[in-house]
Amino acid sequence: MSPNPESPREVPRRAVALRYERARDGAPRVVASGRGPVAEAILACARANGVPLHEDADLVELLGACELGEPISPELYEVVAQLLAFLYQTNERLLREEAAAGAAAQEHA
């Protein structure tokens, strides 16, 4: 059997970054969006700054349709609220685990 000369192309990665400050923003805003190398740069910047990442290709497509700098559409509020709640809970859990590990290290020192 010969290799298929029309092998599927790899789909470029896509990334969208949101900003939401409860005291300042009425709704989350799309602050970065891109495919391929731009997406990789967005992800690298997020990782370098400790920003939590969540992979959901369908959500990225929906958020990618939003205008940069504009609040997300009201249709996306519920799903983004669920995502933000998950991220806040994850951050709190990680902080508790770090604090517990730090306390344990001090006890053994």
pLDDT in tens, 6-37: 555 676 899 999 998 888 988 999 999 999 99
CATH topology of domain 14-108: name from scop (3.40.1690)
| Inter-CA distances, 94 with 18, 56, 83, Å | 21, 22, 16
Looking at 24-76, list the stretches that DSSP marks H as alpha helix, in order from N- to C-terminal side.
37-48, 57-64
pLDDT in tens, 75-97: 999 998 888 888 888 888 888 98
Higher pLDDT, 3 or 10: 10
In terms of pTM, does the model score above 0.75?
no
- For the chain, the domains span 14-108
